[in-house]
Structure 1
Amino acid sequence: MAGPGLEAGDPRGRLRLGGDFFGRPCVGLAKALLGQVLARRLPDGRELRGRIVETEAYLGGEDTASHSRGGRRTARNAAMFMKPGTLYVYQIYGLYFCLNISSQGEGAAVLLRSLEPLQGLEAMRQLRLSQRKGGHPPAKPPKDWQLCNGPSKLCQALAINRTFDQEDLASAPDLWLEPGPEAPAEALVCSPRIGISGDWAHKPLRFYLRGNKCVSVVDKAAEQAT
């Protein structure tokens, strides 16, 4: 029998995190996601997995850095107002995608910033290389720890695009969460979000696992204060 927040997974007996897991306030979900495993089934049946090591919380409403600031609703951000666990996938610079998961709270969602690759690393590398814009290959293929160490990189490595927008992560057939080892409290680092300006620039709403090489940006000051 599956435990709290868990549901039966695929026929191979894996468990997936169900709807109850996502039904918590945004900051709580951003922290709880650390250590969980994001799994992706490609159209050819190959499965990719990565451990979540970095997240950011976007609280909606008063959060001026959120796409839903001031209660703003658009066709683009509709997923942020849907039930917890809904995927919000948006495009930046007209090129790259970012993956978010809605939480409790009006217009609140968590951005997945970095994964530690666990399974399917060569497929991830191929996907990263195949999605290079302009057809220019990098000087060197990305190393293992570089495959998913940023929000757009992880979407490239797992072939995630706008087709996943508004899907329910608790039931989506090709993208799901599996329980990972619980991260110890002392491993959690709270720091300001990346690339944020304005009144909310210094809010400690980015969370990552201390000492993990796959984190996109290490904040030494925040680590000393945590």
Structure 2
Amino acid sequence: MKLTKSNFNLSCIDMANFLLGKILVRKFENNTISKGRIVETECYLGGIDKASHSYGGRVTPRNQAMFMPEGTSYVYMTYGMYYCLNISSKEPGAAVLIRALEPIEGLEQMENNRLKKMKNKNSSKKFKNIELCNGPSKLCISMDIRKENCNKIDLCQNDYLWIEEPGEKENFVVVTSTRIGVASAGEEWANKPLRFYIYQNPHVSKRDRKAEKNVEFPT
């Protein structure tokens, strides 16, 4: 079942945890569908967050989606060549970065998309399943998520990119860790526990073994 607008009416931190285990679905122009289970997320808290594109409450052409209604996609380019997918939460300027997926359907299409992106078009490389979406830019390539085709869209009101409940709910343990690649925001914000991932899932982009020692297991 596709998530509705009310499902996204959450704070950034709550949404980051809520999205774990949910299914990101991409329908391509050739009508094939790829799906991936969300296994890692990261929070950007808006105006107060020195690592956020919307720090200080600034609105720019680039980050407008962060101020749009909850459940809006925010796709931006990093390093001048890779895209990242975020979803706006209910706080203005706050969004959740989707960091990693566990591919579950349409893996051939994902691999084809990854191969197309490679500089050597004649490469015979074969991607392992765990290599397809174990990072924010990798999943965008695999799902063909770009600023031109997937930015500023309502994830509840379109037929080519959405999030849905898994067929069977699975119990899992969540690891709370620090974000990746935000050292320039300063020590305080670089060390905020704003990254969340499913414990022992091999598709996570980067494990934090120190944080994993503090995981609380259900009794």
TM band (smaller chain): over 0.9
Identical counterparts, % of pairs: 48
Q: Does the alignment pair 1:36 with 2:36?
A: no
| Contact map agreement 2:134 2:205 (CA 8 A) in 1 | yes
Shift in Å, 1:137: 6.4
34, 38, 54: which is aligned to 1:68? 54
- TM-score normalised by L of structure 1: 0.89
1:150-205 deviation line (CA, Å, top 9, x unaligned):
00000000011012111000112100111024453x61000000011112001010
**Following the alignment from structure 1 to structure 2, what is the Cα–Cα distance between the partners of residues 138 and 27?**
41
* Long gaps (5+) in structure 2: none
| Contact map agreement 1:34 1:183 (CA 8 A) in 2 | no
Shift in Å, 1:140: 3.4
| Count of residues in Structure 1 that have an aligned counterpart in Structure 2 | 210
- Counterpart for residue 175 of structure 1: 161
**Following the alignment from structure 1 to structure 2, what is the Cα–Cα distance between the partners of residues 129 and 40?**
18
Give the 3-state SS of the residue equivalent to 1:225 in structure 2: coil
87, 112, 115: which is aligned to 1:129? 115
- TM-score normalised by L of structure 2: 0.92
Q: Does the alignment pair 1:212 with 2:197?
A: no
**Following the alignment from structure 1 to structure 2, what is the Cα–Cα distance between the partners of residues 25 and 137?**
45
1:30-88 deviation line (CA, Å, top 9, x unaligned):
00000000011000000000000000010001100000001011010000001000000
Q: What does 1:123-202 correspond to in 2, within 5 Å? A: 123-132=109-118, 134-135=119-120, 140-162=125-147, 163-180=149-166, 181-182=168-169, 184=171, 187-197=173-183, 198=186, 199-202=188-191
1:79-130 deviation line (CA, Å, top 9, x unaligned):
0001000000001111110000000112000000000000011110110010
**Following the alignment from structure 2 to structure 1, what is the Cα–Cα distance between the partners of residues 191 and 170?**
25
Code of the aligned partner of 2:189: W
Change (3 A) 1:201 1:137: farther
**Following the alignment from structure 1 to structure 2, what is the Cα–Cα distance between the partners of residues 117 and 167?**
22
**Following the alignment from structure 1 to structure 2, what is the Cα–Cα distance between the partners of residues 69 and 129?**
36
Code of the aligned partner of 2:77: Q
* Long gaps (5+) in structure 1: 1-14
Give the 3-state SS of the residue equivalent to 2:197 in structure 1: strand
Change (3 A) 1:68 1:137: farther
